[in-house]
Structure 1
Amino acid sequence: MKFWIYIVAVLAGMSLSIEGAIYGVLGQSVGKLESSFYNFAVGSVILGIVVLFLGKGSLSYAAKAPKWQLTGGVFGVIYLTILVIGVPLLGVGLTMISVIVGQMAMSMVIEHKGWLGSSKTPITKEKVMAVALMAIALLLVF
């Protein structure tokens, strides 16, 4: 079962590159912020319909949830808007590898500290080496 999660995660990563490329081009046509807004507007409508029919949680809990748990949307907007700006300037590959290096580095810190409800996992030399090699790859491609 765990193997399939890896496959799905790889497919999700692939879809993010496709999304970045699409919205990078759209940003040149309609405007960078407008492209990002369009993404979230369409995504909200689609997800709203899915939640309406398949949702099992409670949106009303959001009013009671700790405020830090509600900041994910802000980070999503920042992420997508930077993709819309970065893809036309750097290309899909450089933009995505930059994002991945940042994700890997920050995820190591979050897991090492046990922040944001994650379980504590120590930073190992292998993890540091993986991020360093990705950073070197970014420099080589750049």
Structure 2
Amino acid sequence: MLVLSGLFIGVLTAIMVSLNGILSTYIDMYHSALIVHLVGLMTVSIVLLVVREAVGKERHVPLYLYSVGVFGVLMVVLTNICFQSIGVSLTVATGLLGQSALSALIDHNGWLGMPKHRFSVRKIPGLVLVLAGTAIMIIY
């Protein structure tokens, strides 16, 4: 089930990159990022109302973790820039390559407080395939 969820994330990413990019052709990329995040805020607010999740019951959250909002804005703006220049497939492919490489490092080293999942030689072919596929897309 988790693998299917991961595949669904990939599908959603391709749709999101496409729609963000199209939106940014109608309005500038910064206003499109604003719209994306405002609609996201409204969506999660409705979900919280529906599931009746209490606000403020979380324990103390380190301040640096709130920087994730900055990463979200950067992702939207950068995907809009890439979309306009290199299209959806190469934007998603290069993003996947970056995600794969950094996530392997994060897992292996336990960075950001994550549990360590040691990198094994068996994972190398997967990373090589992602790299090769991305390289082929860039060349052709």
Partners in 2 of 1:70 and 1:105 — Cα distance?
24
* Superposition TM-score, scaled by structure 2 size: 0.88
Deviations 1:102-121 (A, max 9, x none): 00111111111112232101
Deviation of residue 43 (structure 1)?
Answer: 0.7
Deviation at 1:134, TM superposition (A): 1.1
Aligned positions of 1:1-142 closer than 5 A: 4-56=1-53, 58-59=55-56, 61=58, 64-142=60-138
In 2, Cα distance between equivalents of 1:116 and 1:58: 25
In the TM superposition, what whole-angstrom CA distance separates every residue of 1:21-54 from its partner, at most 9, and x where no partner exists? 1110110111111111111011101111111231
Q: CA deviation at 1:55?
A: 4.8
Runs of 4+ in 1 over 3 A off after TM superposition: 55-62
Structure 2 gaps of 5+ residues are: none
Task: Provide the aligned C-alpha RMSD in A.
Answer: 1.8
Alignment gaps of 5+ in structure 1? none
Please give the alpha-carbon distance, in whole angstroms, between the structure 2 residues aligned to 1:55 and 1:79.
30
CA distance in 1, matches of 2:82, 2:14: 12
